[in-house]
Structure 1
Amino acid sequence: MTGYSYQLICDNVPNAVTLTDFGPRVIEVVKVLRRRTGLTLWQGRSLLDRLPATVLDDVSEERAEATVRELLAVGAKAQVRQQA
Structure 2
Amino acid sequence: MADDYFLLVCDGIPHDVVLTDPGIRVLDVAQVVRRLTGLSLWRSKALAVQVPALILDGVSQEDAEAAVTALLAAGALAQMREQPGPDFLKS
C-alpha separation in 2, matches of 1:39 and 1:15 = 20
Runs (4 or more) in structure 1 with deviation over 3 Å come to 7-11
Q: Does 1:36 align with 2:36?
A: yes
Q: For residues 5-43 of structure 1, what are the alpha-carbon distances to aligned partners after superposition, in whole Å with 9 as ceiling and x for unaligned?
A: xx8754410000000000011111011011111111011
Tell me: higher relative CO, structure 1 or 2? Use CA pairs within 8 A at least 6 residues apart. 1
* Unaligned ranges ≥5, structure 1: 1-6
* TM-score normalised to structure 2 length: 0.79
* TM-score normalised to structure 1 length: 0.85
Query: Percentage identity across aligned positions?
Result: 53
- 2:22–2:49 contact (8 Å) kept in structure 1: no
C-alpha separation in 1, matches of 2:19 and 2:41 = 16
C-alpha separation in 1, matches of 2:30 and 2:60 = 22
The alignment of Structure 1 onto Structure 2 pairs a total of residues equal to: 78
